[in-house]
Structure 1
């Protein structure tokens, strides 16, 4: 996972490939159980090897972020995006 960054740290225009989805925070961090959060992310399609691009970010505290995941557009809280590790394409 060398060189991978959390999706929450990516900026609009960044693109890459998901290398890991690991919901490792405490249950109170997300408001749901860690296993439940990981299941939700996987059901949305946040799986290893999927292409992802950051499209937009909210005006207040840069939250939430809009991402393109393969052919879908998804809004995602930045704290949930922190559980997704991405290998960014070089600019």
Structure 2
């Protein structure tokens, strides 16, 4: 797992069997967990949110905007480039 700063947020990158995931948390009284998951086999990005102790709400991000070359490095570049459009 590694941590990077993207658009003023501390974002953790970790691997999953399906690909990779980038997670961060809001800076509010009741924090919201956010994640972007890259599913390597399908080369798609999923967006998840959760207010603890609840479960995750997950949706697929627009494939015409979240475009990747099928590699982890490419997925990382897409996340870094598109992070500014995601909630804080």
How high is the TM-score relative to the length of structure 2?
0.33
| Higher RCO by CA contacts (8 Å cutoff, separation 6 or greater) | 1
If each structure's strand is expressed as a fraction of its own residues, which one has the higher value?
2
If each structure's helix is expressed as a fraction of its own residues, which one has the higher value?
1
